[in-house]
Structures are given as structure tokens and as C-alpha cells.
């Protein structure tokens, strides 16, 4: 059968997945230049040659990693966004639960963490790649959340002038504490995540609840 090097769809799934996972981890830990193909192959439990066969040179490998992380992370986010409390019975409680889900997904999830790290590290080097990420990532996340807040405001649950601003500030508050721990690879504890979500939502509602 044909096996396009670009879209090897299904067959070599597990090998390819192992390679991409190992590559993501290694790129994150060592940076693009510092990540050697040998190290990646070793981590993936795969011969170096297999990487060249399946994916291609280092540049293509990097792009494939970013593409996969972007897709995966974006899918997770929009799945969670479906659980936004559009018609809340207890706004604070349900918004807090939503914030917790978001934190657990966005900050403690390895893929999202890796993607953010790679964007920070190699953003200048591959501007085209991460321009796409920016559009699919933050560029679609904020408007999506903003729409939900606008909905809440329209229904009288909130008092917001600028939903986009509210969305950005909500995200900023929710991920306030986490960024440092996250960037260092130290996973914040469950208790920290919950406490942070609670205080973030409390402050957010103090600012945007109807008077």
C-alpha cells in the first residue's frame, strides 16, 4: 500500500505516536538545538532510522510535533468549553467548577504545557508555525469564552461592558498562580489548583457581578 510520508494515517500508529511524544518531551526539555535525534529515538524506544523513514528531517519532526500538540490541545479546550455554565443555577459554584476543569486541562495537561513551552522557546525561530498556533490557540479561545460571558451578561448574570476583555481577565486570573510552577515542570498540587480556581472566580465575580 501507499504510505504517504505526510499522512501515514493509521497503520504505524503506535510507533509514530511514540516518536512524536518522545520528540515533544525532548524538544521541551532540551530546546530545538539541544534535542538530538538520537536522544529522541532512544526515548521513543525506536531506531533513529525509523524517525527519518516515518517523518523526515529534524525540521519536519518539529513541525509535526507542534501540529499534533496544537490539534490535541485545541480539541481538549473546546471539549471543556462545552461544559461552560450557560444557564447556571449557582453561578459562582458552577463557574468555579469550570475554572477547575480548565486548569486541570490547560495547565496540568502535558500536551498543553509542552505546546506553551515550545511556543515560548521557539516562537521567534519559527514565526510561521506559531502564527498558526496563535490563531488556533489563544486567537480562538478568547473569542469563544467571550461569547459565553456575553451570553451570561445578556441573561443578567453578569455586568460586563467588553466581553473580550472579561474573557482575557478571567483567563489571567484563573492561571495567575499556575504559570510559574507550570513553566518549571513542577506540577501544582490538586489543592493549589482548586484554591486558585476558587479565588480567581471569587475576584472575577466581585468585579463583574451585577450590583
The 131-170 contact track toward a second copy, x by CB under 8 A, reads: ---x---x-----------------------x--x--xx-
Contact 96, 90 (CB under 8 A): no
Using CB atoms within 10 Å of the CB of residue 1, give its burial: 0 to 12 exposed, 13 to 18 middle, 19+ buried.
exposed
In the structure grid, which three cell numbers stand for residue 69, read together?
500538540
The closest of 208, 175, 210, 202 to 96, measured between CA atoms, is 202
Answer with the entry of DNA, a second copy, none that 57 interacts with (C-beta below 5 to 8 A by kind).
Answer: DNA
Position of cell 538520537? Answer: 38
Q: Does 23 bind a second copy (CB under 8 A)?
A: no
Q: Kindly identify the residues of this chain, within the stretch 47-106, that bind a second copy according to CB under 8 A.
A: none
The backbone torsions φ and ψ at residue 90, rounded to the nearest 5 degrees and listed phi first, read -125, 100
Kindly give, in sequence order, each residue whose CB lies less than 8 Å from that of residue 85, ignoring residues fewer than 6 positions away.
91, 94, 95, 97, 98
C-alpha radius of gyration, the chain, whole number? 20
**Cβ 193 to a second copy, closest distance in Å?**
15
The footprint of DNA (CB under 7 A) covers 1, 3, 12, 15, 35-39, 45-50, 52-54, 57-59
- Nearest approach, Cβ of 13 to DNA (angstroms)? 9
Of residues 3 and 86, the one with the C-beta less far from DNA: 3
Q: Would you tell me which residues interact with a second copy (CB under 8 A)?
A: 29-34, 117, 119-121, 123-125, 127, 130, 134, 138, 162, 165, 168-169, 171-173, 175-177, 180, 183-185, 199-200, 203-204, 206-208
Amino acid at each position: 500500500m501507499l504510505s504517504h510520508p505526510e499522512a501515514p494515517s493509521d497503520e504505524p500508529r503506535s510507533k509514530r505516536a511514540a516518536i512524536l511524544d518522545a520528540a515533544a518531551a525532548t524538544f521541551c526539555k532540551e530546546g530545538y538545538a539541544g534535542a538530538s535525534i538520537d536522544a529522541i529515538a532512544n526515548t521513543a524506544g525506536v531506531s533513529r532510522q525509523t524517525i527519518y523513514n516515518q517523518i523526515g528531517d529534524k525540521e519536519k519532526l518539529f513541525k509535526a510535533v507542534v501540529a499534533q500538540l496544537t490539534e490535541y490541545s485545541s480539541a481538549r479546550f473546546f471539549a471543556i468549553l462545552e461544559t461552560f455554565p450557560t444557564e447556571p443555577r449557582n453561578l459562582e459554584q458552577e463557574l468555579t467548577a469550570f475554572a477547575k476543569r480548565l486548569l486541570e486541562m490547560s495547565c496540568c495537561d502535558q500536551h498543553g504545557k509542552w505546546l506553551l513551552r515550545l511556543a515560548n522557546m521557539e516562537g521567534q525561530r519559527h514565526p510561521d508555525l506559531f502564527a498558526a498556533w496563535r490563531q488556533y490557540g489563544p486567537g480562538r479561545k478568547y473569542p469563544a469564552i467571550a461569547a459565553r460571558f456575553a451570553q451570561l451578561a445578556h441573561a443578567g448574570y453578569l455586568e460586563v461592558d467588553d466581553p473580550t476583555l472579561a474573557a482575557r481577565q478571567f483567563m489571567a486570573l484563573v492561571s495567575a498562580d499556575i504559570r510559574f510552577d507550570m513553566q518549571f515542570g513542577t506540577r501544582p498540587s490538586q489543592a493549589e489548583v482548586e484554591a486558585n480556581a476558587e479565588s480567581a472566580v471569587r475576584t472575577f465575580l466581585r468585579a463583574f457581578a451585577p450590583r
